[in-house]
Amino acid sequence: MIKVSGLKKSFGKANILNGIDAEIAKGEVIVVIGPSGSGKSTFLRCLNLLETPTGGEIEYEGQLVTDRRVNINELRQSMGMVFQQFNLFPHKTVLENVTLAPIKVLNMSKAEAEKIGLELLRRVGLEEKRDAYPNRLSGGQKQRVAIARALAMRPHVMLFDEPTSALDPEMVGEVLDVMKSLAKEGMTMVIVTHEMGFAREVGDRLLFIDGGMIVEQGPPREVFGNPQHPRTKEFLSKVL
Amino acid sequence: MELAYHWDFSFLNDYGSYYWTGIRMTLEVSLIAVLSGLVLGTLVSFLRLSGLWPLRLIGSVYVEIIRGTPLIVQLFLFNYGLPIFLGFDIGIFTAAYLALTINSAAYIAEIMRAGIQAVDKGQMEAARSLGMSRSLAMRQIILPQAFKNVLPALGNEFVVVIKESSVLSVIGFAELTYQANAIRGATYISLEPMLISALIYFVLIFTMSKLLGIGERRLKASD
């Protein structure tokens, strides 16, 4: 579904990604871990071109994303993204946050968008908050709305950029639960996270990124249980 | 030696209506200048925030020239200069509205630029990640938030424009200062008519500032 080859990204003189090769199959749940500053968020943000790669290629559903001629807006419609800082629209209600893009981008009727939106809000357990503004929500609730907002576009893949890192500990669970149920339904997901327990439980494959390269990858149980590379060992010994 | 001045406000009986016309004209021209300045200024702020340097340059040149020259000079240029290039008379009204709008737009452009830049970067990213185009995201997500950010500053700009609009009297635009001056000419009383106009300006602006303060607190409370 997604094929990344030789992906490079630098900001000025700083090389963040130094040639990443990865393939993501439909229905796969990929968990990306690594020390901070390793480039794992940048890798994720390159997938939907929030960052413009400085080298290499990304292919998504047979389209070359890194081609200049590609319609980036159309491409992003089928790639949902969830941010660390939620980034809900503060001047819109919860339901409006969820229905805005379907109405304005997919030209869906308001009634249909609200029907789908309410269904999604029910799914993340926030139907009763439909008319609340984001500032009235807790962090966990905000992130669940953000997930519903991304799902409203009926994406083929969901990108999660440290979705629980800005949350109070007691709210991490409710967000991870929503993500688990998504994974169970077969959603293709790429998740950058520090939640090792979650990575082990939900991930089909784990990518360990350090220094802008994939240092090691494999099924989470194998990587966690028997890391091969010294840097993986060092990192895991610190976080586990 | 004794300096005795005989205060004389009797002209108010005959000329009171001059002030009413003046107040109306002052408020009208100021409001219209700020509203059309908001439209023009927002467009200029887009230029200044553009990714293309020629557009940025045009925006900067506009703002710097307007802010770097006195309003009264701009007014003269519009009133006496523009007809020469256009080949026909544009009239005092057009010159006055044009000069005040174009002047105010330069200041509003800077206000809007700051307001847009104050919106969190994640807002644009979230909007774009949902497939919105840059302009759709701007209209739906960034501008409404930016506008809310700058409402107090826009109100302030309105107050400033009310005061600045007194300059329009020099080309014969019949706003408040012009009217006071007209009364002076007709009655040969020089101090009192101006004192009355000063009082009116003060009441207008003081009331406006207080209202803005209340509006601002309401806005903050809703956050």
pLDDT along chain A (240 residues), means of 10: 94 92 95 93 95 94 89 94 97 96 97 97 96 95 97 97 94 95 96 94 95 94 93 90
Can you tell me the distance from the alpha carbon of B98 to that of B26, in angstroms, rounded to the nearest whole number?
14
Intervals of chain B under pLDDT 70: 1-2, 221-223
User: B14 is written with which tokens?
Assistant: 């005959």
Strands A188-192 and A29-33: parallel
Strands A205-210 and A213-218: antiparallel
Nearest CB to B130; choose among A85, A91, A101 = A101
Q: Cα-flanking dihedrals φ and ψ of residue A4, to 5°? A: -110, 130
Residue to test with chain B: of A99, A103, A105, most B Cβ within 10 A: A105
User: A148 is written with which tokens?
Assistant: 């519903």
Say if CB B40 and CB B105 are below 8 A apart: yes
- Distance from the B223 Cα atom to the nearest Cα atom in chain A, whole angstroms: 8
* pLDDT score for B218: 83
Question: Helix, strand, coil: what percent of chain A each, to 5?
Answer: 40, 25, 35
Predicted TM-score of the model (pTM): 0.86
Q: Alpha-carbon torsion A219, A224, A226, A232, what sign?
A: positive
A87/B125 CB distance under 8 A: yes
The residue of chain A nearest to residue B129, with distances taken between CA atoms, is A76
B131/A101 CB distance under 8 A: yes
Say if CB B125 and CB A88 are below 8 A apart: no
User: A92 is written with which tokens?
Assistant: 């819109």
Q: Cα-flanking dihedrals φ and ψ of residue A25, to 5°? A: -90, 160
- Which residue, B7, B9, B11, B26, is CA-closest to B182? B11
Note whether A50 contacts B: Cβ–Cβ < 8 A.
Answer: yes
B125/A91 CB distance under 8 A: no
* pLDDT score for B87: 87
Could you tell me which residues come within 8 angstroms of residue A209 by beta carbon, excluding any fewer than 6 positions away? A20, A32, A33, A34, A38, A39, A40, A43, A215
B128/A104 CB distance under 8 A: no
What are the chain A neighbours of B149 within 8 Å (beta carbons)? none
- Tell me the one-letter amino acid at A86: F
Which residue do the tokens 């007809």 mark? Answer: B83
* pLDDT score for A168: 94
- Distance from the B138 Cα atom to the nearest Cα atom in chain A, whole angstroms: 12
A89/B126 CB distance under 8 A: yes
Can you tell me the distance from the alpha carbon of B161 to that of B183, in angstroms, rounded to the nearest whole number?
23
What are the chain A neighbours of B126 within 8 Å (beta carbons)? 81, 83, 87-89, 146
The residue of chain B nearest to residue A103, with distances taken between CA atoms, is B132
ipTM of the complex, rounded to two decimals: 0.93
Could you tell me which residues come within 8 angstroms of residue B223 by beta carbon, excluding any fewer than 6 positions away? A135
* pLDDT score for A68: 86
B122/A83 CB distance under 8 A: yes
User: B105 is written with which tokens?
Assistant: 């737009």
- Which residue, A13, A17, A49, is CA-closest to A32? A17
